[in-house]
Structure 1
């Protein structure tokens, strides 16, 4: 089956990429490392972000751009309570964030006073894969509760990742989940992808993830 892209879609993506490159330069000029975190709904994005902030806020200054399809502040309120400035970006029903939405969020953050910016993308495994937001890295959170077949069903989002976090590992004894099958699917799409098994509930696996983040923030400062 042949995929056909109509010119209007190509023009929209080209315009988005232009803004994304500008966003990346702004982050770099401020010596900020920015990471775009994607996941399916309920995978645990906010829980992981809140836990990350709690464990790192004494070492670095963190800001969050929260994407949501509606104008609710549930997730941004959790981030603020965790001790990080958060900006809510509403997509008005769109299934993904784009670079201009991120730009508007950036304008409301104190970039001169931050070391790390986390973008919490819309809960979706399809649309966000197509859109460059201007981050330095793309991460996916894959919950064990979703099952082990997601790399086979949603391959595009796995191809463009820099890091993968397998979350809710404390549930493995209670759900049908074949981690070897999952890893095989990931490896076929993105060989050698950095992967961190984690549990926001128990704290398992967070130290390697935090070490990776700290190294990226240090590189941005160099």
Structure 2
């Protein structure tokens, strides 16, 4: 069974291919486009993963996407309405990519010749799975913390064999990751790019 995982339209677009639960190929789009932190749909990375196993999209059994775009869009709309009129400029600049790309992930994937189901995974569950399912542990406590997913900014739970149960969360706007990004920006570095430079 082949499962293709896709991440795009935020930072570091990428693709990973699993065969029977084992990662057999993975690549970031920037490796092919030579554009640092490329956010575009990872067509080159997907092609690389498929070619590595000599398969086509028609042979992929499932596709997973790293977040639920409509939930995230709901949060963003709420933010912009709440902050109006201060948010008007960012709203106008953000909407074209949402309307033309981010809300149409399924369509972009189907254009590649894929006919199966596209699974939209909650962002923090995707983080938890990416760490726990490839770890050597059969059971573990799991903590995820980043800027923000759909609504969650931090989650905790338990991984047991191949199951992950998230038990709690901290929701936006409370976010350790966004605080870290704010400090990064305050220090003159680029957010979602240079955080590692202020880690010491």
Normalised by the length of structure 2, the TM-score is: 0.29
Structure possessing the higher radius of gyration over alpha carbons: 2
Greater strand share, structure number? 2
More helix by share: 1
TM-score (norm 1): 0.27
